[in-house]
C-alpha cells in the first residue's frame, strides 16, 4: 500500500509519493540527509498545491487541487517516462480543495477561490468528449450571501471542504465567514456554525474574542465517539481555540431551515429592482459543544480520530496537540489538563510584532526555519501573526468580497471599502440568508 504526501503545503508545486511499507525498516540505507527519498515525484503543476486526496478504493489513483486552476488526476500504474497527470480539469479560478466522496467512488467535491463549491462525476468530468455537460458538474452549491438592510451581496472564499464519514453532508470553511453545513443532495446550506454563545449556552461576553476565520486557511473535520454517524464538527479559529459543534441529523436541519418569501424578506430592506426571489436561512448552531485550548496562536487544522474520541489540532506554531476528554485511553495515558483559557491578544501593536511582519515581507520568513528548535524563533512566528490579526482580524466580508447579481445596475461597479453602505455595518446584521441556488 502506498500513501501520497504533499509537503510544504501552500508553497510547493510538487507531489511526493512514498511507499509506507518501508516505514521502520532498517533494510534500506538512508541518504546523507537522514530522511528517506520519495519513490516518485509529480512536478507538472504550475502553482502551489492546496490539496492532495487519494481515491477511496484504488491506492494508485489520487487528485490534486492547485492554485493554477487545475484539478489533476494521477494513476501510478501508468508507465510513463516522466510521471504526470492522466486527466486535467482546467478552470479560471484557483482550486482551494478537492475531496472524494467517502462512499461513492465516482463523485468528488471541489472548492475554489471565487467561492464556488461543485460536485463532480469523474466519469463525465475526465472524459475527452466535447459534448460533456457542464464539465462534469452534477451539483452546484449555493455560496452567495445577503442580509436584511443590505444593498449588495457577498461571496466569501471557500478555502476548504470536508465530508462526514457516510457522505450525507459536508462542511465548507469560508474565509471571513462561518463554517457552513450542506446536505450533499441539496444545493442550499442547512446550517452555519458560530461561537456567539459559550458552551454553557450563555452569550459570549462583549469584547471577548470568539470563532473567526480571517487570517489563515482553516481545515475542519467531522467525527464523533466512534459511531457510524459523524455528529460533530471541529474547526480551528483565529482566537487560538478549536471549536467543536454537535450537529443535528440532516433531516432535522432541513426541517428547521427557513425559506423566506421575497415579500417578507423585503419588508424592511432596501433592495434594487429584480431582487425579489426567496431567501434561504440555514439553522444557526450558535452554542459549541466545547472549545479546546492549549495553543498560543491561530489554530488552522482540527482532525478527529476515526475510532477514538480524540481530536488533533495544529496551527501557526510548531506544536501538534492531542485532545481527549479523559486522561487515558487505549493509545494515551497521563494526559495533562488543558489550560482554562487562551492567551490574550494585546491591543497595542508592539514594535517587535511590526518588525517581524516587515521581516516576513522583505526578508527571511520565520515560519520557514523549520530546522530551528530555538524558542525565540517560535516567538517571532507568534509575534508575526499577532500583528496580522491586529491589522486584518476585523476584516469585513461584505466589503472584501462583494458580489452583484448578473444584470443588476451595480454588476460592473466597484464600491470603495470606506463606503457607508449598511452591508458593512454590523449593527444591521440581524439575519443572514443565502441566495437561492438558481441565482448563483
For residues 107 and 324, give the distance between their C-alpha atoms in angstroms, rounded to a whole number.
Answer: 33
Cell of 271: 433592495
Sheet holding 279-281, edge to edge: 258-260, 279-281, 432-434, 145-147, 153-154, 402-403
* Strand partners of residue 75: 61
Q: What element of type H or E holds 53?
A: strand 49-54
pLDDT of 389 reads 84
pTM of the model: 0.83
Mean pLDDT over 66-70 rounds to: 94
The pLDDT of residue 78 is above 80: yes
Which pLDDT value is given to residue 130? 53
Hey, what's the cell of 167? 457522505
DSSP string, 362-431: HS--GGG-TT---HHHHHHHHHHHHHHHHHHTT--HHHHSEE--TTSTTTT----TT---GGG-GGG-S-
Bridging pattern class, strands 311-315 and 232-236: unpaired
| pLDDT tens digits along 297-342 | 999 999 999 988 899 999 998 889 999 999 988 888 888 898 988 9
b/e 65-78 (16+ beta carbons within 10 angstroms → b): bbbbbbbbbbebee
C-alpha closest to that of 234 among 116, 101, 323: 323
d(CA 4, CA 318): 22
CA distance 259 to 24: 56
Amino acid at each position: 500500500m502506498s500513501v501520497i504526501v504533499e509537503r510544504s503545503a501552500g508553497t510547493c508545486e510538487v507531489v511526493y509519493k512514498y511507499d509506507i511499507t518501508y516505514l521502520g525498516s532498517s533494510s534500506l540505507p538512508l541518504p546523507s540527509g537522514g530522511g528517506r527519498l520519495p519513490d516518485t515525484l509529480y512536478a507538472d503543476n504550475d502553482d502551489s498545491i492546496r490539496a492532495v486526496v487519494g481515491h477511496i478504493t484504488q491506492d494508485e489513483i489520487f487528485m490534486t487541487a492547485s492554485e493554477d486552476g487545475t484539478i489533476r488526476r494521477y494513476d501510478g500504474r501508468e508507465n510513463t517516462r516522466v510521471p504526470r497527470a492522466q486527466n486535467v480539469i482546467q478552470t479560471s479560478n484557483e482550486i482551494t480543495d478537492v475531496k472524494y466522496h467517502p462512499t461513492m467512488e465516482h463523485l468528488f467535491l471541489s472548492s475554489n477561490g471565487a467561492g464556488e463549491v461543485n460536485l463532480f462525476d469523474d466519469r463525465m468530468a475526465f472524459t475527452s468528449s466535447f459534448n460533456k455537460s457542464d464539465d462534469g458538474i452534477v451539483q452546484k452549491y449555493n455560496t452567495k450571501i445577503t442580509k436584511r438592510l443590505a444593498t449588495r451581496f457577498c461571496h466569501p472564499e471557500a478555502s476548504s471542504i470536508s465530508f462526514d464519514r457516510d457522505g450525507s453532508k459536508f462542511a465548507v470553511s469560508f474565509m471571513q465567514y462561518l463554517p457552513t453545513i450542506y446536505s450533499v443532495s441539496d444545493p442550499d446550506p442547512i446550517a452555519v456554525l458560530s461561537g456567539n454563545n459559550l458552551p454553557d449556552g450563555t452569550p459570549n461576553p462583549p469584547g471577548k474574542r470568539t470563532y473567526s476565520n480571517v487570517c489563515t486557511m482553516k481545515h475542519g473535520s467531522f467525527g464523533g465517539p466512534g459511531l457510524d454517524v459523524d455528529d460533530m464538527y471541529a474547526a480551528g479559529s483565529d482566537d487560538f481555540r478549536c471549536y467543536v459543534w454537535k450537529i443535528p441529523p440532516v433531516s432535522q436541519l432541513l426541517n428547521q431551515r427557513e425559506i423566506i418569501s421575497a415579500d417578507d424578506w423585503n419588508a424592511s430592506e432596501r433592495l434594487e429592482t429584480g431582487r425579489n426571489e426567496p431567501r434561504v436561512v440555514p439553522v444557526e448552531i450558535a452554542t459549541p459543544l466545547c472549545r479546546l485550548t492549549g495553543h498560543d496562536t491561530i489554530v488552522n487544522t482540527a482532525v478527529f480520530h476515526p475510532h477514538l474520541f480524540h481530536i488533533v489540532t495544529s496551527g501557526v506554531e510548531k506544536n501538534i496537540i492531542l485532545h481527549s476528554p479523559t486522561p487515558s485511553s487505549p493509545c494515551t495515558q497521563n494526559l495533562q489538563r488543558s489550560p482554562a483559557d487562551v492567551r490574550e491578544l494585546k491591543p497595542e501593536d508592539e514594535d517587535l510584532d511590526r518588525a517581524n511582519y516587515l521581516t516576513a515581507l522583505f526578508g527571511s520568513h520565520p515560519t520557514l526555519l523549520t530546522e530551528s528548535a530555538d524558542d525565540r524563533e517560535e516567538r517571532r512566528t507568534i509575534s508575526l501573526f499577532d500583528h496580522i490579526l491586529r491589522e486584518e482580524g476585523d476584516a469585513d466580508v461584505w466589503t472584501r468580497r462583494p458580489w452583484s447579481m448578473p444584470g443588476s445596475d451595480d454588476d460592473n461597479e466597484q464600491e470603495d471599502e470606506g463606503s457607508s453602505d449598511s452591508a458593512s455595518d454590523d449593527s444591521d446584521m440581524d439575519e443572514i440568508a443565502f441566495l437561492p441556488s438558481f441565482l448563483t
